[in-house]
Each structure stands twice: as C-alpha cells, then as structure tokens.
C-alpha cells in the first residue's frame, strides 16, 4: 500500500517540477547574464584596443609603439594591460611582463578581434581582446588589451546571489500557491470523506450530491452502491422471512396432526416439530440479522424500548406486570434498527415471561458503549443454567413453541456487534441480563 495520500502526491509532484523548472530557469538566466556581462566586457576591451590602435605611432627607428593611452594602463596595480606584438617583438604596458609569455590568438583577418583568457601578475585572471592590425614591414601586428576579469566574476556572483534570493522567494510563493491550489481542488473530496463518515455513523442515509460535477458522479455512484446494498439486504431478509413462513406453516400443520394422534408417537412428533422450529428460528434469525458490513445504521434506543414495552404490555396483558424504564440520556445504538428491536424485544419478553410482577429496563452510556440491563423479580437462574441459556439453540423452559430461544439470539447478536450478553442476579431478585453494544456517536 502506498502511504502517500492524494494531497501529498499532488504537492510532492508540484514541488518536483518546481525544483526542476526553477533550477533550469535559474541556470539559463545565470548563463544569459554571464554571456551578456562578458559580451559587454569584451566590447569594452575591443573599444580600448581600438582606442590604443588609433594611438599607435612610429618612433625614430621606425618601430611601432603605443603613443596615447588611457592613464589606467600606466597605473601600477590598476589591472589594465596592453601587449603590442609586431612579428616576434612584444611590447607591454607597465606591470604587463606576465603577458609577454602569453600566447595571444591571431584573429583571422585584419580588423578582427578575438577574446581570450589570460593570467596577469600574481596569477590574477584577465580577460583579453586581441585586435589584428595591418602588417608592419611584413610582420603581423596584434594589439592585445587585458583587464582584470574578477570584476566580471564579482558581477556574476552578485547576480547569482540575487537570483538565488529571488528564486527562493518565488519558489516559496509558488509552493504556498500549489498547497493552496491542491487544498482548494481537493476540498470536495475532503467533504465527500466527511459525508461518508456521517453515512457510516448513520447520521446520513446517503451522500449529499451537492458537489462539482466530477465528484458528484462519484457521490452518485456511492449512493447507487449503498442503495443496491440496502435493497439486497432487504431482499435477503424478506426471502429468509418467506422461507421461515413456509417452513413453519407446514410445521404448524404437522404439529397439529401429531397432536391429534393423542399417543406417545404423537407427543414425540410434537417435540420434534418444536425442535425443528427452534432450529429454523435460530438459523433464520442469524441469516436475517447482524450488521450489514458497512456499519451505516443507527437506531434510537429510547424509541425502541418504548415500542417494545408497548408490545409486551399487549402480549402479557393478562399478567398486569409493572415495567419500569430508566433510559434518560441513553445513546443511540450503532447498528440496524431491527437488530436492536430483536435484542430489546427478546430480553424484555424473556423477563416478562419469568417475572412475578416487576420488570426493570435500563439503558445508559458507558464510554462509546450502550449498556442495556433488563431485570425481573422471577426465580432467576443458577450458574449452570446461565451458561446453558445463552448457548446456541438452548432453551430452558418448555412453556410452548417459540419460547426460550430469546437469550441465545440476544447473545449471538451482541457478539456480532462486538459486544456480549452477561447474566447476573438482579436486585429485584430474579435474572439481570446485561448487554453491551456499540453506541452511535452523539450529534
């Protein structure tokens, strides 16, 4: 798995091209500047050479020598030098002895200039321009002017420094711009992520589709998948319910036929049909319940408790039971509504079935968990019976078909949601069933 997220990738990729483009641009700018500075220096050298050439004179013995010259040439340490070559004879300005050994280039034709690098006194780097003049007495004439080139280098270094500062500033502005651009561009994706989290916690049923067109297409596709998932789950549950109906209707008929026999075989058949009905209940309850895998649902705990209590009051209307509910501040259940209905319904029905007269239902939060406690004032269960009652398909009472499987179903369901069912002794005197379930986040 690649650890880089989309934002890091986009910013990282932008930084790479910024560094490459900045480096190449800086190098190109630096090169062009250097060429311009050298060209300007060469032009100055050429002008000085031509100025010196115009001041060449013949002395008494007919030899050429530099007559007029810029005073800097005569100043020692000024870094201005000239070299006049007539055939093999070399004449130099003050301090220019070092140039005497310098192999000056020969321009291709008279009037042409060639630039070159040289070393002056004490190895000082020089930039030189050699002007070819008309031959004198058959000997080729070259006039070379050289200046200290450290001025150019200083100018180039200064420009490079300035360029680096400007490039760094520009780079930082561009990086900030890229980060802002990426964050702005990815904002709909971050919103989509937040909306999906809302869907996951059950606060939203579907992802809102108020997005830019390209992300809206993704949101619509996600909603399509969610809808199909819900439809498939509903279809599977309906199919399982239909199967239960068909099987149990036939079982009811078979049971009645067996009951009408009125003999030992008939009783055995009745017991067998009850066992089959129990198996059908158990496996179909597992097939039709449990989290759908996407953890999207959220159920109102207090509303479910109220509906279940209303239901059991009708089912046990003949018993005149007192059912006390304490659920102020109970958090919502993070799971399917019908699973919470199954858990609360089975617990309360079981308690009513065994209560002498009182049932207490409590729902509260414990961190991020929802704790349900259902107690009765019945006979309760001993340790051995408590262990057995939550095991798959086990039932302790034989009060009639369909009774007694409730706690095993609750235990299975609670485990499916990462919780559990614990049986204890109630302060009312009977059984206390404590279920630990995931709570939905508040809000």
**Positions in the binding site for another protein (CB under 8 A):** 241-242, 244-257, 259-260, 273-274, 277, 281, 285, 288-289, 307-308, 310-311, 314-315, 317-318, 337-338, 341-342, 344-346, 349, 400-402
**Do 348 and 363 meet the contact criterion of CB atoms below 8 Å apart?**
no
How far the first Cα of the chain sits from its last, in Å, is 34
For another protein, give the closer residue by CB, 120 or 345: 345
Strand pairing category for 369-376 and 420-425:
unpaired
CA distance 390 to 414: 11
For another protein, give the closer residue by CB, 252 or 385: 252
Rg (CA), the chain: 49
CB of 442 to another protein, least distance (A): 25
CA dihedral 134, 139, 143, 149 (to 10 degrees): 130
For another protein, give the closer residue by CB, 181 or 233: 233
CB of 299 to another protein, least distance (A): 11
* SS3 (DSSP) at 8: helix
CB of 251 to another protein, least distance (A): 4
For another protein, give the closer residue by CB, 98 or 299: 299
CB of 364 to another protein, least distance (A): 21
CB of 322 to another protein, least distance (A): 15
**Do 106 and 142 meet the contact criterion of CB atoms below 8 Å apart?**
yes
**Do 361 and 374 meet the contact criterion of CB atoms below 8 Å apart?**
yes
> Which residues of 322-368 form beta strands (DSSP E)?
322-326, 358-366
For another protein, give the closer residue by CB, 246 or 379: 246
CA distance 358 to 133: 127
Paired residues of 65 in beta bridges: 57
Q: Is 137 left (phi over 0), alpha (psi -120 to 50) or beta?
A: left
CA distance 152 to 42: 11
For another protein, give the closer residue by CB, 145 or 359: 359
Paired residues of 129 in beta bridges: 115, 145
CB of 404 to another protein, least distance (A): 12
CA distance 142 to 395: 120
For another protein, give the closer residue by CB, 78 or 254: 254
For another protein, give the closer residue by CB, 49 or 323: 323
CB of 384 to another protein, least distance (A): 27
H/E run at residue 189: helix 150-201
CB of 244 to another protein, least distance (A): 5
């Amino acid at each position: 798995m690649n650890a880089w997220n989309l934002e890091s990738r986009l910013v990282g990729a932008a930084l790479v091209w910024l560094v490459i483009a900045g480096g190449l641009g800086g190098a190109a700018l630096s090169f062009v500047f250097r060429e311009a500075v050298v060209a300007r220096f060469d032009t100055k050298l050429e002008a000085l050479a031509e100025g010196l050439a115009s001041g060449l004179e013949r002395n008494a013995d007919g030899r050429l020598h530099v007559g007029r010259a810029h005073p800097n040439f005569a100043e020692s340490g000024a870094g201005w030098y000239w070299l006049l070559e007539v055939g093999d004879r070399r004449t130099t300005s003050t301090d220019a002895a070092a140039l005497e050994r310098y192999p000056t280039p020969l321009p291709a034709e008279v009037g042409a200039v060639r630039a070159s690098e040289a070393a002056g006194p004490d190895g000082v780097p020089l930039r030189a321009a050699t002007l070819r003049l008309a031959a004198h007495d058959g000997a080729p004439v070259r006039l070379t002017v050289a200046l200290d080139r450290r001025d150019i280098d200083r100018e180039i270094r200064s420009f490079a420094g300035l360029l680096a500062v400007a490039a760094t500033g520009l780079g930082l502005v561009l990086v900030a711009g890229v980060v802002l651009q990426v964050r702005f561009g990815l904002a709909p994706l971050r919103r989509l992520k937040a909306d999906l989290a809302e869907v996951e916690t059950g606060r939203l049923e579907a992802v809102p589709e108020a997005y830019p067109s390209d992300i809206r297409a993704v949101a619509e596709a996600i909603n399509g998948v969610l809808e199909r998932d819900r439809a498939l789950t509903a279809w599977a549950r309906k199919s399982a319910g239909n199967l239960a109906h068909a099987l149990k209707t036939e079982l009811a008929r078979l049971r009645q036929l067996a009951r009408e026999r009125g003999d030992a075989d008939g009783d055995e058949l009745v017991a067998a049909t009850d066992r089959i009905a129990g198996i059908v209940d158990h496996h179909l309850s597992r097939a039709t319940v449990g989290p759908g895998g996407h953890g999207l649902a959220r159920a109102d705990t207090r509303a479910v408790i109220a509906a279940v209590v209303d239901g059991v009051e009708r089912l046990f209307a003949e018993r005149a039971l007192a059912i006390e509910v304490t659920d102020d501040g109970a958090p919502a259940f993070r799971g399917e509504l019908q699973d919470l209905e199954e858990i609360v319904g089975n617990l309360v029905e079981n308690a009513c079935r065994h209560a002498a007269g009182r049932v207490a239902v409590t729902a509260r939060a414990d961190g991020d968990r929802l704790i349900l406690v259902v107690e009765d004032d019945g006979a309760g269960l001993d340790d051995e019976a408590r262990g057995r009652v939550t095991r798959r398909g086990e039932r302790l009472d034989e009060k009639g078909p369909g009774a007694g499987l409730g706690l095993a179903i609750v235990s299975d369901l609670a485990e499916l949601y990462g919780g559990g069912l614990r049986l204890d002794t109630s302060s009312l005197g009977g059984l206390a069933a404590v279920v630990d379930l995931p709570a939905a986040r508040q809000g």
